[in-house]
Structure formats: structure tokens, C-alpha cells
A = this chain, B = another copy of it.
């Protein structure tokens, strides 16, 4: 090796140094705790999946342009999962007879997309996936939105800081049919809506050759002549009303919300930041009753949502909901006056660890003053030197670094002090 190796990670992915990882784990822990309160269980799978899994129902754009797909040495086509829902459907289908439905399942996988490099778009991110599998439209949809709401509340977000936009694919489909859109154009129209009006309605209708159509959204607005549309609209409005009654005060009906994936069949919802400077989609989901049946057998209804770590962290930071720093979990820095004291210090640390204390032992030849500086740099609160004097006396001087207060303690007192400190 003549040329030194580059230290950067691969393009578009992140290195998680301990402070970065602790921040992500702070998010994960809060999510896991809240999901446990709702009876949810965690599952996982490999990021490697057979490529065909995504060719059925994930959006075409994602499969053709945004996946990492390669051929392995056994000529199998492999894809790094771009999303978790197809894996969930596969796993449910594989054990449908053994699993006790309904399933309340969540996962915290990393997912991969081959994105063009642009601001804030990563090629790998973590995505909470929450799914309620085995129940038809109705209570399950309402509980799922309530859970999404509870997750935001668990981070301290108040209802004014975000809005939950609710819509329905059957409503959109009925409105599109009422507007004269042919079935094969409906999906195109939904994708147009999902792109959030980057092109005008006229441009879209011209492009799809349905210029003469009415605007499906204006039919939803006043559906009087269209019974199907009126029925589906009434259903969504009732869902929104019930959510408000259940305490989800920021649920609103939003007829333009579609969600990107082709596999949604019922309610869809999307959570937005209400801050005008960050008025973006935070996360969302919907009902996908047809996905499990792609693996054969009877359909299994399901509803779920996905929440990316980067978007969530941006929201939490924008709203001041992230603690200043996640402190070191190490409780005591055990200094060593001289290198020959290390074996005794390690033996003493072993005693403390048996009591559940988290102890860092200095192994360098630094002077004690520099060891104290090192403890401060590591945000460890307590410092005590341990050498032959301490072995002889059976007591130590322990220093609270934040206040520089010192006291002489026995081992038993030290253990109590460390436990009381945090």
C-alpha cells in the first residue's frame, strides 16, 4: 500500500461515532418504549432480499432507478431492501398458519436507495416500520393513526407542531373514475398528486391524454352527483371525526394526500410539520390489503406506516425537542498514579462492576492531573485515583468533577455515592 486509503465512508451513508449513535439510540429507545406500551413486538430481517420481491408492487420509479440490485456469484439477483413492507408481507405469508393474528409488529431496519446526490437525501437511512396485520378497515386504522400520534407525543411534540392528513385510496379511485379517468391512468394521476403539484393539473391531464376530464379533487370537494365518491368521502370524514374524539386533535381530511407506493388499498395518511420554514412530510402510511396475497393464499389485510430517522431528527431539532447532549454512561473514572498500580486498579474496578457500577480504568502513563482532564473530556462525572496508598488505607478520595468537591470514602461509601450521583 503506497497510497493511503481514503477515510470517508461510501458516498451517501453515515458513520456513527459514539455520540451520533447514542443520539440515534435515544430516538430508538423512545420509539421502542412507546410501541411496547401498545403491545407491539419487534421483528427484523436481512437487508438482502431477492430482487423479484420489489418488482411486484413497489413503485416503478423506485425499482428501476433507485434500488441497489446486483447479481450474486450464484446468478441470483439480489436487492438491498429499499423499504421494509414487502419483507413484512413475505414473512407474514411464510408463517400465516402459525402466527396469531392480528399482529402488532414493528421494526427499525436500515433501508437503501440509490439516490442522485442532493441535499439531505441519503443512500441509507433507518426507518421505523409499524404494522397492524390481520384486521380489516375500521378500528385498526384508527388505532394506527392514534399510535402515530402517540409516538410524536412521546418526543414531546404538541398537536400544534404537526398535522396528520388523512385520505382514502378508494375515495381517490372513485373520484378518478367519476372524472372519466381510465383505470390505467388512475395510478399515474395519484403519482402526479404525490409529487405535490410540481407540474400543473393541465400539464398532467394533457400528458395522460385525459384533458377533457374533470378534476378529481373538485369532484371530491362537491361529490353530489357521484354516489360512490360521496360514500367514500363520508367514511373518511367519520374516521377523522372519531380520531378527534379520541384525542388526535390535529387529524384533518386531506384529499390530495396519496402516498407514493402502488400497494395502498384503503386509508392513507401523512404527517406534516406545521412550521412554515419546515413544512414537509415527516412520515406516513396506509392500508395495504393485497400485499400478502402476492405470495399465494387468501389476502391478509394490513395497515402500517414508516418513519425515517433523518426526517424525524430534523423535526425534533427544529422544535427544540432533542436533549442538549446524551451524557456518558460511564459513572467513574478510576485513575492510576503509576503504571504499576494498574493491576490493583483493575481488580478494584472488578469489585465495583460486580455491584453494577460502570467504571473506566486509566491504562496510560499520563500524570494524574492529565487523567482528570481526560475524564472531563469524556464527560465522566466522578474521578478517583487508586494506587498503593489506597490499597493500604482501604479508602479513596473521590472528586465530583463538575463541582470539584472531594471526599474521602470507603469502598461501600463509594458505591453508594456513585449510585446516588445518577
Q: Which residues of A contact B (CB under 8 A)?
A: 1, 4-11, 13-18, 21-22, 25, 36-39, 41-50, 52-53, 56, 68, 70, 72-74, 76, 78, 80, 90-91, 93-95, 100, 102, 104-105, 110, 112, 114, 123-124, 135, 138-140, 142-143, 146, 150, 242, 245-247, 294-297, 328-330, 339, 342-343, 346-347, 350, 353, 356-361, 363-364, 374, 377-378
Cα A132 to Cα B246 in complex, Å, equals 52
Distance from A291 Cβ to chain B, minimum over Cβ atoms (Å): 10
Q: Within the complex, which residue of B91, B135, B245 is in contact with A363, where a contact is CB–CB below 8 Å? A: B135
Q: Within the complex, which residue of B25, B36, B80, B94 is in contact with A329, where a contact is CB–CB below 8 Å? A: B36
Cα A104 to Cα B328 in complex, Å, equals 12
Distance from A378 Cβ to chain B, minimum over Cβ atoms (Å): 6
Contact A4-B330, Cβ < 8 Å, known A21-B42, A357-B37 = no
Contact call A346/B56, Cβ cutoff below 8 A:
no
Cα A245 to Cα B104 in complex, Å, equals 51
Q: Within the complex, which residue of B100, B123, B343, B364 is in contact with A374, where a contact is CB–CB below 8 Å? A: B100
Contact call A296/B4, Cβ cutoff below 8 A:
yes
A-B contact pairs, 5 of them (CB 8 A): A6-B295, A10-B78, A21-B43, A73-B114, A146-B346
| A350 proximity list for chain B (CB < 8 A) | 146, 150, 246-247
Contact A1-B294, Cβ < 8 Å, known A18-B43, A247-B350 = yes
Cα A250 to Cα B358 in complex, Å, equals 25
| A25 proximity list for chain B (CB < 8 A) | 42
4 new A-B pairs (CB below 8 Å) besides A4-B297, A13-B48, A143-B346? Answer: A8-B94, A18-B43, A39-B330, A245-B343
Chain B residue, CB-CB nearest to A101: B364
Contact call A95/B46, Cβ cutoff below 8 A:
no
Distance from A338 Cβ to chain B, minimum over Cβ atoms (Å): 12
Contact A364-B17, Cβ < 8 Å, known A48-B124, A76-B11 = no
Contact call A378/B143, Cβ cutoff below 8 A:
no
| A78 proximity list for chain B (CB < 8 A) | 10, 68
Contact call B246/A95, Cβ cutoff below 8 A:
no
| A343 proximity list for chain B (CB < 8 A) | 242, 245-246
Contact call B246/A353, Cβ cutoff below 8 A:
no
Chain B residue, CB-CB nearest to A333: B39
Cα A359 to Cα B37 in complex, Å, equals 6
| A52 proximity list for chain B (CB < 8 A) | 5-6
| A330 proximity list for chain B (CB < 8 A) | 36, 39
Cα A261 to Cα B239 in complex, Å, equals 60
Contact A22-B42, Cβ < 8 Å, known A91-B17, A361-B143 = yes
Chain B residue, CB-CB nearest to A125: B46
Q: Within the complex, which residue of B17, B37, B100, B112 is in contact with A378, where a contact is CB–CB below 8 Å? A: B100
Contact call B294/A5, Cβ cutoff below 8 A:
yes
Chain B residue, CB-CB nearest to A96: B7
Contact call A18/B42, Cβ cutoff below 8 A:
yes
Cα A91 to Cα B74 in complex, Å, equals 33
Contact A9-B39, Cβ < 8 Å, known A17-B95, A140-B363, A378-B100 = no
Contact A139-B363, Cβ < 8 Å, known A22-B42, A294-B1, A358-B39 = yes
Contact call A13/B91, Cβ cutoff below 8 A:
no
Distance from A108 Cβ to chain B, minimum over Cβ atoms (Å): 10
Contact call B110/A46, Cβ cutoff below 8 A:
yes
Chain B residue, CB-CB nearest to A37: B353
Q: Within the complex, which residue of B100, B114, B143 is in contact with A72, where a contact is CB–CB below 8 Å? A: B114
| A124 proximity list for chain B (CB < 8 A) | 46, 48
Contact A46-B14, Cβ < 8 Å, known A38-B353, A114-B73, A359-B39 = yes
Q: Within the complex, which residue of B45, B295, B357 is in contact with A4, where a contact is CB–CB below 8 Å? A: B295
Contact A104-B37, Cβ < 8 Å, known A9-B46, A18-B42 = no
